Amino acid sequence: MFPLVSIADDSSALKLEPYVDSDYNFKFSVPSSFTTTQQKLSGRRKGVFFTDENSKDGFGNIDTLGFIAYTPMRDDFTSLSSFGSVDEVGQSTILPKSELAGNPEDSKMLSAVSKNNAYFFDYVAKPIVPTDPGSSAAKSGQMTKELEPVHFRTIFTLLPSKDANVAGLTLVTITFQTTEAKYSGLKSSFDEIISSYGKA
């Protein structure tokens, strides 16, 4: 007879399917149950979002999701080292800063690795967000509130586009996140998503 814990762990694994970006020539696996949407952002940026609609909380917020952010860079950004070492990028760019970070001990870089022309980050942060207008906290003068800790897995890389209209390199960041409370049940799926990244 199998232990109940093992059965629960197996059932939490997500079924993955390939996602291919032919413009930037990379691929990785995404959960087949997630909803995929694309959005144009300011400054010639764009984002692709992968959301787990089943992870909505009582307020309708989705806590398990992934996204790809594409940010065109200046011509002098010719390699990842233009941003600094993997540790420098992790501390200066990846981890939340100032009022967004809460207490310093609430944001922790678990690993920062450089491989395959990309930086890979594994970190936990406790987001600080504005209180809802009209809430009792806002009325009492409390302008921000802490959310529960969130676990992030991020890939940070520079890639050329096959589109002749896109000059220079583009910073491509791939992030998957969930609450720290749910992470242990999703870790194997997140590991597989991150390790599946490579050239298309």
Blockwise average pLDDT, block size 10, the chain, 200 residues:
38 85 97 95 87 86 94 89 94 70 70 96 86 68 78 97 86 97 96 97
Summarize pLDDT for 154-191 with one digit per residue, the tens: 999 999 999 877 788 999 999 999 999 999 999 999 99
| 3-class secondary structure per residue, the chain | CCCHHHHHHHHCCCCEEEEEECCCCEEEEEECCCEEEEEECCCCCEEEEEECHHHECCCCCECCEEEEEEEECCCCCCCHHHHCCHHHHHHHHHCCCHHHCCCHHHCEEEEEEEECCEEEEEEEECCEEECCCCCHHHHCCCCEEECCCEEEEEEEEEEECCCCCCCCEEEEEEEEEEEHHHHHHHHHHHHHHHHCCEEC
Burial class (CB in 10 A: 0-12, 13-18, 19+), 188: middle
Q: What local confidence, expressed as pLDDT, does residue 75 receive?
A: 85
Tell me the two tokens of residue 120: 């890979």
The domain spans of the chain are 19-199
CB 48 within 8 A of CB 34: no
Q: What local confidence, expressed as pLDDT, does residue 12 receive?
A: 57
Tell me the two tokens of residue 25: 């020539």
Q: What local confidence, expressed as pLDDT, does residue 151 receive?
A: 96
Indicate the Cα dihedral angle 65, 45, 173, 95, nearest 10°.
Answer: -80
Total-model pTM: 0.83
Q: What local confidence, expressed as pLDDT, does residue 98 receive?
A: 45
Tell me the two tokens of residue 22: 């032919």
User: 19-199 maps to which CATH number?
Assistant: 3.40.1000.10
Q: What local confidence, expressed as pLDDT, does residue 99 receive?
A: 46
Tell me the two tokens of residue 184: 């242990």
Q: What local confidence, expressed as pLDDT, does residue 189 receive?
A: 97
Q: What local confidence, expressed as pLDDT, does residue 53 receive?
A: 93
Tell me the two tokens of residue 14: 């997500």
